[in-house]
């Protein structure tokens, strides 16, 4: 556990996300998602190059040549296996809110306005494995019921929906999502975090197994890969993050 004790919070989350991508053919990442982006590049390296990673806004990792619509068309074609979404609010049914807080009747004069829904109201439906990612794990972000549903966690049976939420990764833990029950289960705790802490900081109800394991730390080889080749790749797309996390840029 000595290596793990030196892991930074970002590295813990990267290591938590990367295994979720194992075996996938094509993972896409939004332009301002350095931790998911780092996790995707790590998973790609571990796949021996069999996994494609497309990072929006990256000069080198972005293969798209048909304009802004191509990401969405590509996902609609079933060519994107995993994507990351976040939310100003996320609730226990995996509904996400990227619009704002307050009663919907007061729209658009929100108490707190978020930037907007981006592509969530589409990608959440068509990408098979959507990983929710939100560093801030507080009752403010993980709420009982979102004030505005940018995109719902689940849909009625007759709604076309090959995709949906797979897990929720925060700075404290990993939740898995069961779409049939529309409910999260506490899957693993980051080093040093307790189930009581999760209960205190989570605004929605979720299932807690009898024993909750620690979020697995990367083995030494993986950690060396992350801090070496991957960190240099990450620096090309997310220079600020790479500088802060690994001191390179």
Partner 1 sequence: MLTSAPPLLSVSVLAARIGNGTKLVLPADYSGCAMAVVTELMRRPVRDLHLVGAPVMGFQADQLIGAGCVARVEAAAVTLGEHGLASRFTAALKSGELEMWDATCPAIHAGLQASEKGVPFMPMRGLIGSDLLAVRPDWKVIDNPLAEDGKRDPIAIIPAIQPDVALFHAAKADRHGNVWIGIRRELMLMAHASKATFVSVEEIVDGNLLDDPALAAGTIPSLYISGLAVAVRGAAPIGLADCYSADNAALAAYATAARSSAGFRDWLARKLDREPVTA
Binding site for partner 1 (CB under 8 A): 25-26, 31-32, 48-52, 54, 57, 59, 63-70, 72-79, 98-99, 104, 107-110, 113, 115-126, 148-152, 155-156, 158-160, 240
Report, in Å, the least distance between residue 168 CB and partner 1: 19
Report, in Å, the least distance between residue 178 CB and partner 1: 18
Question: 131: alpha, beta or left, given left = phi > 0 and alpha = psi -120 to 50?
Answer: beta
Cβ proximity to partner 1, 35 vs 198, nearer residue: 35
Segments in the chain forming alpha helices (H): 2-5, 9-17, 34-46, 70-76, 120-126, 195-201, 220-225, 231-237, 239-246
Report, in Å, the least distance between residue 36 CB and partner 1: 15
What sign does the dihedral 136-176-85-229 (CA atoms) show? positive
H or E segment at 84?
A: strand 82-85
Cβ proximity to partner 1, 15 vs 41, nearer residue: 41
Length of the chain: 249
Report, in Å, the least distance between residue 113 CB and partner 1: 5
Q: Are 115 and 98 a contacting pair, CB within 8 Å? A: yes
Report, in Å, the least distance between residue 211 CB and partner 1: 35
Cβ proximity to partner 1, 72 vs 195, nearer residue: 72
Cβ proximity to partner 1, 88 vs 218, nearer residue: 88
Both tokens of residue 111? 């108490």
Cβ proximity to partner 1, 216 vs 249, nearer residue: 249
């Amino acid at each position: 556990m000595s290596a793990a004790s030196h892991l930074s919070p970002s590295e813990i989350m990267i290591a938590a996300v990367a295994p979720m991508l194992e075996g996938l053919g094509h993972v896409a990442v939004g332009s301002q998602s350095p931790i998911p982006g780092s996790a995707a590049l790590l998973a790609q390296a571990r796949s021996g190059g069999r996994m494609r990673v497309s990072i929006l806004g990256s000069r080198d990792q972005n293969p798209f040549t048909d304009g802004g619509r191509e990401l969405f068309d590509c996902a609609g074609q079933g060519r994107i296996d995993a994507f990351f979404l976040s939310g100003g609010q996320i609730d226990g049914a995996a509904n996400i809110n990227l619009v704002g807080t307050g009663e919907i009747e007061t729209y658009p004069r929100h108490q707190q306005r978020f930037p907007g829904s981006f592509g969530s109201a589409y990608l959440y439906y068509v990408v098979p494995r959507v990983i929710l990612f939100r560093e801030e794990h507080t009752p403010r972000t993980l709420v009982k019921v979102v004030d505005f549903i940018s995109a719902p966690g689940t849909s009625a049976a007759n709604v076309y929906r090959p995709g949906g939420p797979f897990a929720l990764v925060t700075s404290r833990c990993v939740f898995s999502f069961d779409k049939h029950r529309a409910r999260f289960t506490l899957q693993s705790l980051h080093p040093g975090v307790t189930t009581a802490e999760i209960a205190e900081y989570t605004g929605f109800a979720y299932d807690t197994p009898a024993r909750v394991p620690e979020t697995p730390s990367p083995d030494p080889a993986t950690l060396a890969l992350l801090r070496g080749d991957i960190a240099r790749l990450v620096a090309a797309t997310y220079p600020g993050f790479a500088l802060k996390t690994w001191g390179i840029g």
